Amino acid sequence: MMTLDTRSQQQIIELLSPLMASEQDRLFISYSRQNERDAQRIVGDLKDAGLRVWFDREKIKGGDAWWQSIVRGISNADYFLFCLSPDSIRSKYARDELLTARQQGKTIHLK
């Protein structure tokens, strides 16, 4: 199970505060489906802090080309947050997202 303590949450918010007024999704969240509940909690905290977040469950609609949507989400984001857990390390999709972010030169944060 992945959790963020209050100090870690505050550090993320301080780091990303310049992006809070943006209309664009600035932070891409990558996670394992096994940790979806924890990822949703992180997304909620970030949104409550005023950040615009790209989260697949909210951004990919039925019928969308899902991988293209993910690549576009990563491309448009300024930051990439990889929710690190044993499950995300084993997840091919989470690793592919991380690789895509690295190839695009994104700032990557592991939590």
Q: Domain residues for 62?
A: 23-110
> Is the residue at 2 inside a domain?
no
Model confidence pLDDT, tens digit, residues 75-102:
999 889 999 999 999 999 999 999 999 9
What's the total number of domains in the chain? 1
The string of pLDDT tens digits covering residues 19-69 is 555 555 589 999 999 999 999 999 999 888 888 899 999 998 887 798 999
Asked if residue 30 lies in contact with residue 95, where contact means CB atoms within 8 angstroms, the answer is no
Q: Flag whether 13 is in a domain.
A: no
Residue 85 lies in a domain: yes
The reported pTM is 0.75
**Which string of DSSP letters, residue by residue, matches 19-49?**
GTT-SS--EEEE--GGGHHHHHHHHHHHHHT
CATH number of the domain bearing residue 43: 3.40.50.10140
